[in-house]
Amino acid sequence: MPLAEQIMTNPHADRVKKLADQRTKRGQGRSGRFLIEGPQAVREAVAMEPQKVTDIYYVADQCHDHTIIDMALQKGMYVHETSAAVMEQISPDAQGIITSAAITSIEHHYDQLTDLNDLLHNPQSIGLLAACWQARDPGNEGTIIRTADAAGCEAVILIGDCVSPFNPKVVRSTAGSLFHIPVYQVSEEEFFTWIITYHLTLCAADIHGTPENPPRTLTDLLFSDEQTLLTKTENPLIILFGNEARGLPQDLVRRTQQSIIIPLYGQAESLNLASSVAILLYSISMARHQRHL
């Protein structure tokens, strides 16, 4: 596929309007596609989802990584140069380059959650997943997906009324990890049905726990002399995180095997969600990798 000869200069062209529309949930519903902005995310989309990415749009003096253009052309994609005004009309956050992908290439549903069972019991797997209940902040959600990818998790599961993973800020915040790791959107009922059906271990990141099952500190669970739920690599483990403002409701915490607290050694009252996710996932991942050695 060629590099288009003409530069796109009309900010009011139908193609420009349709691309800009893919930044909204309603527009994504109409087109079945979502917009991917910025060099990191576009690079990974081109590398990981070439069959679903057909057109690349860039501003010559704003796009500083032309290896993305070269890779797109090698993979048979159409590449269009645009004016800065056109790119601004499509997305003010584009950083000089955008593309779009079919939602069906990324989206996963509950019926596919069952496929994770084999993956979690693979000998090469550390058997670790992150689950988020009603994560509403797009920056947090994108960072969680990126962190889970970096920590070697098998998937991220979004439960209930979470922000869409195709929200432009979520996509940017993942820095391309959205194209590396499965992201599932499920209801509470679907999630707990899956947990029960496959006898999976579920722990809550929660400071309160329950009267019957009080929380334990992360350090206690990781450095205890006995094997714990966090360090038994033969048991797939899901860590459940709550809403940014409200945490997890008690009825959900009661359905988990253990609550985990991150110890605070300074004067801060708490950590934000993204920081808590990073500490817990990396600590558990390192412990589980160590047991694999």
The pTM (predicted TM-score) of the whole model is 0.91
Cα→Cα distances 145→150, 184, 258, 286, Å? 9, 11, 23, 18
Task: Tell whether the model's pLDDT for residue 162 goes beyond 90.
Answer: yes
Do residues 197 and 236 lie in contact, with contact meaning Cβ atoms separated by under 8 Å?
no
pLDDT the model gives residue 111: 61
CATH architecture of 107-292: 3-Layer(aba) Sandwich (3.40)
Give residue-wise pLDDT tens across range 255-291: 999 999 999 999 998 899 999 999 999 999 998 887 7
Task: Grade residue 1 by pLDDT with cuts at 50, 70 and 90.
Answer: very low
Task: Grade residue 228 by pLDDT with cuts at 50, 70 and 90.
Answer: confident
Indicate the domain borders of the chain.
14-105, 107-292
Do residues 147 and 122 lie in contact, with contact meaning Cβ atoms separated by under 8 Å?
no
Helix (H, G, I), strand (E, B) or coil at 107: strand
Query: Worst-scoring range by mean pLDDT, 56-60, 95-99, 162-166, 288-292?
Result: 288-292
Task: Tell whether the model's pLDDT for residue 178 goes beyond 60.
Answer: yes
pLDDT the model gives residue 189: 92
Sign of CA dihedral 166, 47, 94, 4: negative
Task: Grade residue 235 by pLDDT with cuts at 50, 70 and 90.
Answer: confident
**What percentage of the chain has pLDDT greater than the value 90?**
72
CATH architecture of 14-105: 2-Layer Sandwich (3.30)
